[in-house]
Chains A and B, each alone.
Chain A
């Protein structure tokens, strides 16, 4: 990949940056420019940039693609492609790759970790223990996880991995999907509201598209109810965030474990005082093992493209 110009939209994993450099790429670090200057930065370097390495925060929108006439491939450091203008890429003949499968386990692990964390209030119990309050009295009862009904929005790779883990806790599994899947052990519901009405824990595990934006809205939150728990390891815009915050603050929703938000890294501060909420900074794939594997996929896809070999994980 000698002398190929690569626009890196976000501060990358050091291993990825080293490898791109070692293979001869010329890196253009978009995240180092202030937001208002970014398109200009692209235009200034457009004669060299032939590839973009994007992520879940900044992929390749229409304006960026238009500013880069020599762009050939967008290799996203994510499995979600909601930040890549796929129709535009198709129209321009630009290839798009993502990082499926390598992060499935970590994301599913975090979904379960967040669930137990919320229901058993582990962060709050940890705070209690560290504060010395334990010397004055016992912590409160928390809610059992085992055996609770788990409802999954989206039964793709990640949804199935979550189901498999939850089954080990004797949780009955139900799901919503565009169409019923061949999983007789899991109960299918044809609407998100029906799913929410019939589960104790609702997990968002579908891709973000026009159809799934705000799939968790006020009606679904109400159906989940004051004993229900919402877990979001999808994308912030899957959930109507102001409605979610109001429901949690008012006690109309039992709890939430959130890895993603509308406007990361900003998290609604009304949630900070709540014990029944666990907030983590978009870490579902954030392990050294998985990020390295994701980097290897990005590198593999880029190399395959520039060597005119078949791409490893092409979506477009």
Chain B
């Protein structure tokens, strides 16, 4: 489905001749689908990493699934002044190094927030109401032979603690309010414009929540922010949902707590060592496990393409990028 732009494609220069097209040159550092390729080819001259001209290109399209933007990469492409990232997270980008070198970094703004928030709510409802597990029960013929499936838990009225109230966390909170959940949050700073309760310490947040939702960016500060103490504070009736980054949670500790009933259940779209999922999780019935899916819908992909193009066009006309990465 995805491939690097081909050397034999007519639009991509294969030698160090000057390109005949006067579309601005764009370095593509991640594989692309045909939908992407046709949209980008209409506006830019695409270069792949193996092109000899790649080191002279000023703008590049990147993705956390394929790239680490570190000093080595920035040295490899020393002419870069603009990076546009297609995914939701930016933990793979050394933002200080980019700033130091005068490289603007853009992501895709709030495009991913809706899908990720929908998925977080979907995972939560699945865990509370046992949707995946009872679907499996039905398909295995057990409703006929064993009778009713065990009862689930009501979502309404439950206390939800959101770790990271950025664009995604806010979208999750807005949705869960309609289910009559009581929302509290942790963020680097309190947000005076929101009506939710701010709890500055993550153990306190966990202690006062029935459900913990991890929706923060992965940084040095948030690495393993959900650790043993937090999981103990969340407690035996607690549920945890992670649609951020696997490394925000101490995964071996999480697995141990789930296996031993020290927390009640989890919905996980991300893991510390994707695509590997701990074997012990696979054996549990109180978890829902999905393969880092939360952003991937065609609707979002279409929007992502448009926003990336808009960012590059702004850059090439000397304007600042439209959706710069904002550290909140």
Instruction: Name B65's closest neighbour in chain A (CB-CB).
Output: A138
Q: Does A52 contact B (CB under 8 A)?
A: no
Contact partner of A142 (CB less than 8 A), chosen from B123, B139, B275, B296, is B296
What is the count of residue pairs linking A and B with beta-carbon distances less than 8 angstroms? Answer: 175
Within 8 A of A (CB), among B105-144: 114-115, 117-119, 121-123, 125-126, 128-132, 134-139, 143-144
User: In the complex, which residues of chain B have a beta carbon less than 8 angstroms from the beta carbon of A143?
Assistant: 297-299
Q: Does B328 contact A (CB under 8 A)?
A: no
Q: Is the beta-carbon distance between A135 and B144 smaller than 8 angstroms?
A: no
User: In the complex, which residues of chain B have a beta carbon less than 8 angstroms from the beta carbon of A289?
Assistant: 153-154
- With A144-B297, A146-B118 in contact, do A279 and B135 touch (Cβ < 8 Å)? yes
Kindly state the separation between the CA atoms of A105 and B179 in the bound complex, as whole angstroms. Answer: 8
Q: Is the beta-carbon distance between A164 and B178 smaller than 8 angstroms?
A: yes
Contact partner of B151 (CB less than 8 A), chosen from A113, A120, A287, is A287
Contact partner of B156 (CB less than 8 A), chosen from A106, A113, A135, A288, is A106
User: In the complex, which residues of chain B have a beta carbon less than 8 angstroms from the beta carbon of A145?
Assistant: 118, 122
Kindly state the separation between the CA atoms of A283 and B288 in the bound complex, as whole angstroms. Answer: 18
- A: number of interface residues (CB 8 Å): 54
User: In the complex, which residues of chain B have a beta carbon less than 8 angstroms from the beta carbon of A167?
Assistant: 178
Within 8 A of B (CB), among A122-138: 122-123, 125-130, 134-135, 138
Q: Is the beta-carbon distance between B156 and A109 smaller than 8 angstroms?
A: yes
Instruction: Determine how close the nearest CB of chain B comes to the CB of A57; give it in whole angstroms.
Output: 10
Q: Does B152 contact A (CB under 8 A)?
A: yes
- With A129-B289, A144-B114 in contact, do A169 and B129 touch (Cβ < 8 Å)? no
Q: Is the beta-carbon distance between A281 and B290 smaller than 8 angstroms?
A: no
Instruction: Determine how close the nearest CB of chain B comes to the CB of A199; give it in whole angstroms.
Output: 16
Within 8 A of A (CB), among B262-291: 274-277, 282, 288-291
User: In the complex, which residues of chain B have a beta carbon less than 8 angstroms from the beta carbon of A315?
Assistant: none
Q: Does B247 contact A (CB under 8 A)?
A: no
Within 8 A of B (CB), among A240-296: 264-267, 272, 278-283, 286-291
Q: Which of A112, A278, A280 has the most CB of B within 10 A?
A: A280
Q: Is the beta-carbon distance between A281 and B154 smaller than 8 angstroms?
A: no
Q: Is the beta-carbon distance between A116 and B139 smaller than 8 angstroms?
A: no
Q: Does A110 contact B (CB under 8 A)?
A: yes
- With A120-B293, A138-B291, A168-B174 in contact, do A109 and B179 touch (Cβ < 8 Å)? yes
Kindly state the separation between the CA atoms of A266 and B153 in the bound complex, as whole angstroms. Answer: 25
Q: Does B148 contact A (CB under 8 A)?
A: yes
Kindly state the separation between the CA atoms of A169 and B154 in the bound complex, as whole angstroms. Answer: 20
Q: Is the beta-carbon distance between A288 and B151 smaller than 8 angstroms?
A: yes
What 1/0 flags go to A134-168 for Cβ under 8 Å of B? Answer: 11001111111111000000000000000011011
Q: Does A11 contact B (CB under 8 A)?
A: yes
User: In the complex, which residues of chain A have a beta carbon less than 8 angstroms from the beta carbon of B177?
Assistant: 168
User: In the complex, which residues of chain B have a beta carbon less than 8 angstroms from the beta carbon of A114?
Assistant: 131
Q: Is the beta-carbon distance between A123 and B147 smaller than 8 angstroms?
A: no
- With A123-B135, A138-B291, A280-B131 in contact, do A113 and B297 touch (Cβ < 8 Å)? no
Instruction: Determine how close the nearest CB of chain B comes to the CB of A188; give it in whole angstroms.
Output: 22
User: In the complex, which residues of chain A have a beta carbon less than 8 angstroms from the beta carbon of B70?
Assistant: none
User: In the complex, which residues of chain B have a beta carbon less than 8 angstroms from the beta carbon of A266?
Assistant: 144
- With A135-B275, A145-B118 in contact, do A113 and B175 touch (Cβ < 8 Å)? no
Q: Which of A120, A278, A289 has the most CB of B within 10 A?
A: A120
Kindly state the separation between the CA atoms of A290 and B151 in the bound complex, as whole angstroms. Answer: 10
User: In the complex, which residues of chain A have a beta carbon less than 8 angstroms from the beta carbon of B131?
Assistant: 110, 113-114, 117, 122-123, 278, 280
User: In the complex, which residues of chain A have a beta carbon less than 8 angstroms from the beta carbon of B155?
Assistant: 105-106, 109
Kindly state the separation between the CA atoms of A106 and B130 in the bound complex, as whole angstroms. Answer: 13
- With A123-B135, A169-B118 in contact, do A291 and B299 touch (Cβ < 8 Å)? no
User: In the complex, which residues of chain A have a beta carbon less than 8 angstroms from the beta carbon of B1?
Assistant: 138
User: In the complex, which residues of chain B have a beta carbon less than 8 angstroms from the beta carbon of A128?
Assistant: 291
Instruction: Determine how close the nearest CB of chain B comes to the CB of A35; give it in whole angstroms.
Output: 15
Kindly state the separation between the CA atoms of A112 and B128 in the bound complex, as whole angstroms. Answer: 13
Kindly state the separation between the CA atoms of A145 and B147 in the bound complex, as whole angstroms. Answer: 32
Q: Is the beta-carbon distance between A122 and B149 smaller than 8 angstroms?
A: no
Kindly state the separation between the CA atoms of A140 and B132 in the bound complex, as whole angstroms. Answer: 18
Contact partner of A117 (CB less than 8 A), chosen from B122, B137, B149, B293, is B122
- With A113-B129, A129-B289 in contact, do A120 and B156 touch (Cβ < 8 Å)? no
Q: Is the beta-carbon distance between B129 and A110 smaller than 8 angstroms?
A: yes
Q: Is the beta-carbon distance between A144 and B178 smaller than 8 angstroms?
A: no
- 15 A-B pairs with CB atoms under 8 Å apart are A106-B155, A112-B121, A114-B131, A117-B126, A126-B289, A129-B289, A134-B275, A139-B293, A141-B298, A146-B118, A165-B175, A283-B130, A287-B129, A287-B151, A290-B154
Known: A123-B131, A168-B177. 6 other contacts (CB 8 A): A109-B128, A109-B179, A123-B135, A130-B282, A144-B297, A144-B300
